[in-house]
């Protein structure tokens, strides 16, 4: 689909973006999504980099998932919509969440367990830094640990937190045993699994 991108330099340029991609057929997209260069565009006049978000469906048959990607700016529309577009799909909101989910699936990790660990890390960070606006993101799994990035403790700095794989396994066991208990029970709203469902402001409830 063709979209017009307006630039601050008064130039408007047109880009052609896919509405659906398949990560098994186009594996280069996996790396593009993880590295943050997916759907980056350069203004044809001034050279400024633009990172717009367009709605998209990401199929990954080998991971048995299709992701409905909603732009961050349309987050509210997910909570307001009545009909399920397609109950088979999982929803992610914003490209950073897409990158995080692709990283999880690439390592064959269960998103419910990761979101629960993010919740525990966030609660701890909030106790230590109650004034800051903190967010926690799963990054990758390497060897015996899972790496999370904590944003917002210091401006323009990312804190790296390594969590032992054993804690992930314990969290996964807890989730399988008690999927309805908190925080697991509060992590999902319909097709959308995210710590954001716990953190969302009242007007989105």
Of the two residues 48 and 176, which places its CB atom closer to Zn ion in the complex? 48
**Element housing 50 (H / E):** strand 49-50
**Sheet strands side by side (includes 188-189):** 20-22, 56-60, 65-70, 90-93, 192-193, 188-189
DSSP β-bridge partners for residue 14: 4
Least separation in angstroms between CB 9 and Zn ion: 3
Please check whether residue 34 is in contact with residue 20, taking contact to mean a CB–CB distance below 8 angstroms: no
Sequence-separated (6 or more) residues with CB below 8 Å from residue 84: 190, 191
How many alpha carbons fall within 13 Å on the CB side of residue 16?
0
Least separation in angstroms between CB 12 and Zn ion: 9
Of the two residues 9 and 73, which places its CB atom closer to Zn ion in the complex? 9
Least separation in angstroms between CB 50 and Zn ion: 8
**Burial class for 104, CB neighbours closer than 10 Å (0-12, 13-18, 19+):** buried
Of the two residues 11 and 173, which places its CB atom closer to Zn ion in the complex? 11
Of the two residues 48 and 81, which places its CB atom closer to Zn ion in the complex? 48
Least separation in angstroms between CB 41 and Zn ion: 10
Of the two residues 11 and 14, which places its CB atom closer to Zn ion in the complex? 11
Least separation in angstroms between CB 45 and Zn ion: 5
**Burial class for 46, CB neighbours closer than 10 Å (0-12, 13-18, 19+):** exposed
Of the two residues 42 and 57, which places its CB atom closer to Zn ion in the complex? 42
Pure H helices in 55-94? 75-80
By CB under 5 A, name the binding residues for Zn ion: 7, 9, 11, 43, 45-46, 48
Taking the C-alpha atoms of residue 134 and residue 159, their distance in angstroms, rounded to an integer, is 11
Least separation in angstroms between CB 3 and Zn ion: 15
């Amino acid at each position: 689909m063709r979209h017009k991108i307006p630039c601050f330099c008064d130039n408007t340029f047109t880009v052609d973006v896919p509405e659906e991609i398949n990560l098994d057929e186009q594996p280069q997209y996996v790396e593009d999504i993880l590295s943050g260069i997916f759907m980056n565009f350069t203004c044809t006049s001034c050279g400024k980099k633009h990172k717009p978000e367009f709605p998209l469906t990401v199929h990954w048959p080998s991971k048995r998932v299709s992701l409905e990607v909603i732009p961050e700016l349309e987050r509210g529309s997910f909570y307001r919509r009545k009909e399920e577009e397609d109950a088979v799909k999982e929803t992610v909101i914003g490209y950073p969440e897409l990158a995080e989910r692709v990283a999880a699936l690439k390592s064959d990790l269960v998103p419910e367990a990761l979101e629960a660990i993010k919740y525990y890390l966030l609660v701890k960070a909030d106790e230590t830094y109650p004034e800051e606006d903190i967010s926690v993101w799963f990054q990758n799994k390497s060897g015996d640990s899972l790496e999370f990035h904590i944003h917002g403790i210091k401006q323009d700095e990312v804190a790296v937190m390594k969590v032992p794989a054993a804690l992930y396994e314990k969290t996964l066991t807890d989730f399988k045993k008690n999927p309805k208990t908190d925080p697991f029970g509060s992590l999902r709203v319909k097709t959308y699994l995210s710590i954001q469902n716990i953190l969302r402001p009242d007007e989105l409830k």
